[in-house]
Amino acid sequence: MSYPIVRMRRLRQSAVLRRMVRETSLSADDLIMPLFVRPGQGIKKAIASMPGNFQFSVDTLVEEARSLVDAGVPAVILFGIPEAKDAHGSGAYAEDAIVCRAVEHLKRACPDLCVITDVCLCEYTDHGHCGVIGHGHAGKPDVDNDATLPLLAREAVAHARAGADMVAPSDMMDGRVGAIRDGLDEAGFPDIPIMAYSAKYASAFYGPFRDAAESPPQFGDRTTYQMDPPNAREALREIALDIDEGADIVMVKPALPYLDIIRMAADNFEVPLAAYHVSGEFSMVKAAAANGWLEEKRAALEILTAIRRAGAKLILTYWAKDAALWLRG
Ligand code: PBG
């Protein structure tokens, strides 16, 4: 025979063989659940654009965290919706900040749960930007990078004081990882790790989250601080800078449209790599599933496995609880 048939199908014949030669694994240990917390009592308000997700008050948040622990999810990342917003986002770093209250209660109820806090100002500013506003290009209002840094450091220290296990800056200001590291060290928290949103793109896929966190920018957009989607090499610079400044874990965000960036990051750096499968990526599968166009569970596990295959160890995903339960079988 001039073309001998290579029997690739030999190792696909049975479930046990497929299991044995599988190159990538997905475990509940890889998953981090994003949760939204707001003031009040007994609140569990559905987020219309993100089916199955809620804005919780601290008490209902604790119940949700208990069920995540039971499902085997090791970590949550908290986003706060404050009572009131102002130009400087003071609800982010006040003593009684909503996220700080949530952290205190979560750590008391679930001491072994890793409680990560998102560090950013966009949920807390009345203009919805991730920092304070100054003058940018051609005198147009824009986020003032250097004036924002001390506020982010204050926010991170407030979270650490409340008992957070890790802080995760998502603002994309230059130098913020160094400013937060210095702030934490000076405040007596040298052991609190930083998970940096290092390669965070100005993406259309954050739409549902901005509903959930009530944080859309009231003017302009985030293109002067978040990365331009066509750029890949620039992501390597962003990640290298964050590692130099003290990031312990680096992140690529979003995930599915940026699997190439995840792969590049995994090949180039040794620190643990996270990827954020964001709200829009999640909600589009939910919408398709609701229409009967996709099977949610299969699609979700395929996507999460693809993110692991691309090289991410940790995945921030709104499927964290569902996936942990699915993986348990
Ligand atoms: C805050 C922040 C955003 C997300 C995480 N942190 C929104 C944004 O940058 O506009 C998006 C998460 C998601 O879409 O699931 N800066």
4 DSSP 8-state letter: P
Give the model's confidence band at 281: pLDDT under 50 very low, under 70 low, under 90 confident, else very high. very high
Check if 85 is active-site. no
Is residue 122 within 8 A of residue 215, CB to CB? The reply is yes
Q: Dihedral of the CA atoms 265, 267, 270, 275 (nearest 10)? A: 40
pLDDT tens-digit readout, 58-114: 999 999 999 999 999 999 999 999 999 999 999 999 989 999 999 999 999 999 999
**Cβ of 279 below 6 Å from ligand 1:** yes
Residue 270 clears pLDDT 80, i.e. is over it: yes
**pLDDT surpasses 90 at 195:** yes
How many Å apart are CA 104 and CA 134, to the nearest integer? 34
* Fold annotation for 25-328: TIM Barrel (3.20.20)
Closest CA to ligand 1's atom 10: 206
Report the distance separating Cα 320 and Cα 176, nearest Å.
Answer: 28
**pLDDT surpassing 70 at residue 56:** yes
CA 131 to CA 150: how far, in whole Å? 10
Residue 276 CA to ligand 1 center (angstroms) comes to 9
Q: What is the mean pLDDT of the chain?
A: 97
Q: 324 pLDDT band (50/70/90 cuts)? A: very high
Best of 50, 120, 148, 151 for a ligand 1 pocket test (most atoms within 8 Å of beta carbon) = 120
- Could you state, in order of their start, the residue ranges of all structural domains in the chain? 25-328
Q: To the nearest whole percent, how much of the chain has pLDDT over 70?
A: 100
Higher pLDDT, 210 or 288: 288
Per-residue pLDDT of 118-133, as tens digits, reads: 999 999 999 999 999 9
Exposure string of 110-120, with b = 16+ CB inside 10 Å and e = fewer, is: beebebbbbbb
How many A from CA of 9 to the centre of ligand 1? 43
Q: What length is written for the chain?
A: 329
Region 294-306: what's the mean pLDDT? 98
- How far is residue 165's CA from residue 289's CA, in Å, rounded to a whole number? 35
Tokens of residue 306, six digits:
């693809």
For every residue of 274-298, DSSP letters joined together read EEE--HHHHHHHHHHHHTTSS-HHH
203 lines ligand 1 (CB under 6 A): no
pLDDT for the residue numbered 2: 87
The closest alpha carbon to 34, from 327, 250, 321, belongs to: 321
Q: Which residues contact 192 (CB under 8 A, 6 or more apart)?
A: 160, 164, 165, 166, 167, 184
* Residue 13 burial class via C-beta count within 10 angstroms: exposed 0-12, middle 13-18, buried 19 and up: exposed
From ligand 1's centre to the CA of 309, what distance in Å?
24
The first and second tokens of residue 285, run together, are 């599968």
The band of 1, judged by pLDDT with boundaries at 50, 70 and 90, is low
- Give the pLDDT score at 78: 98
Q: Among residues 326, 274, 278, which one has the least CA distance to residue 302?
A: 326
Ligand 1 nearest-atom number relative to CA 208: 14
**What is the mean predicted confidence (pLDDT) over 159-175?**
98
Q: What is the mean pLDDT of residues 176-203?
A: 98
151 lines ligand 1 (CB under 6 A): no
Q: Taking 80 as the threshold, does the pLDDT of residue 171 lie above it?
A: yes
Asked whether 206 lines ligand 1 (CB < 6 A), one says: yes
Q: Which of 32, 76, 170 to mutate to test the pocket of ligand 1 (most atoms within 8 A of CB)?
A: 170
> What is the number of the ligand 1 atom nearest to the C-alpha of 209?
14
Q: Is 303:285 a contact under the CB 8 Å cutoff?
A: yes
